[in-house]
Amino acid sequence: MRYFLLILTCLIVLSCQTEKKKQKPTWLIGKWERVNEKPNKRTFDFWDKYLTGIGFTLKDADTIFKEVMSIVELKDTLHLKVERVNKTPTLFKFTQQTDSSFVSENPENEFPKKIYYYKENGQLKCKISNNELSIDFVFNEINH
């Protein structure tokens, strides 16, 4: 009887546990250069082991765009946090995730409302969009 109660207690405890936390997208880690950029420009995404990234665009030797990104967890939900574009940081909540992709959304943001990052055939790809516009980014990893 004690053995039965012990097993029953274990089953109840296990069934009450919350859903397993989503894995953070460590496949972002690396130094990436955009291959579908306009002439005379070079765009990069650099992601470190803490899942903090810097995205920047160079025209000749001048930095013409820079953003800081990070994957953060708020209330058991992953978010893509984007800083240095707007006056305050913008959070994009993860709405879908697989082992090699995620979609993050912020319907209140003017552009983009949706950010889709995924890894495909060794390339890092990103699509940013709202209802009227979509921009695709294709990155190759920079060898060390």
Domains of the chain: 23-141 (2.40.128.20)
Q: Which residue has the tokens 């209802």?
A: 131
pLDDT at 15: 52
Full-model pTM = 0.84
pLDDT at 143: 83
Q: Which of 134, 123, 137, 130 is nearest to 30 (CA)?
A: 123
Distance, in Å, from the CA atom of 104 to the CA atom of 96, rounded to the nearest integer, reads 7
pLDDT at 8: 46
Positions in the chain short of pLDDT 50 = 5-6, 8, 10, 13
Q: Going along the chain, which residue ranges are E strands? A: 30-34, 41-47, 52-59, 62-74, 77-83, 90-98, 101-105, 114-120, 123-129, 134-141
Distance, in Å, from the CA atom of 48 to the CA atom of 131, rounded to the nearest integer, reads 31
